[in-house]
Amino acid sequence: MQEIEIIDEQPLTLSEMKEKLGKINKEDLSFRATKSLEYLKSFGKTKPEKISEKKKKIDELNIQRLKQTTISKIIDLNPTDEDSLKTILSVDHITLKQEDLKRIIEVIK
């Protein structure tokens, strides 16, 4: 079996992944990829333009502890309040100041 070399790794939101898988011909997708695409069509509802806009705005907040993977999770789950956001951040053991939480929620809304 040929070894695959990973050149670049970038976290994607559900909608971005749906867009990437959607560009591949359905006959070329494996069973798993087809099932993933079905799942993504159900849950990846955010428009790609809005995603890139939200990512850019969250990056502009200059919150040092937020990584791209965490930002993608936040955009996917679209928290509506600070408690929901804290729950998402707790998975990666991230704690933020109350003012930073409020700023993120404002961007997501």
Model confidence over 95-104: pLDDT tens digits? 899 999 999 9
pLDDT score of 51: 87
Q: Are 109 and 81 in contact (CB under 8 A)?
A: no
Tokens of 28: 């070329």
Where are the domains positioned within the chain? 14-43, 48-108
C-alpha–C-alpha distance, residues 66 and 13, integer Å: 15
Q: Name the more confident of 53 and 22.
A: 53
Percent of the chain with pLDDT over 90: 19
pLDDT score of 85: 92
Q: Are 11 and 20 in contact (CB under 8 A)?
A: no
Model confidence over 57-98: pLDDT tens digits? 998 998 888 888 999 899 888 899 999 999 999 988 988 999
C-alpha–C-alpha distance, residues 109 and 99, integer Å: 16
Tokens of 5: 């070399």
Tell me, what DSSP letter sits at residue 29? S
Q: How far is CA 85 from the centre of its chain?
A: 14
Q: Are 17 and 29 in contact (CB under 8 A)?
A: no
Summary mean pLDDT of the chain:
86
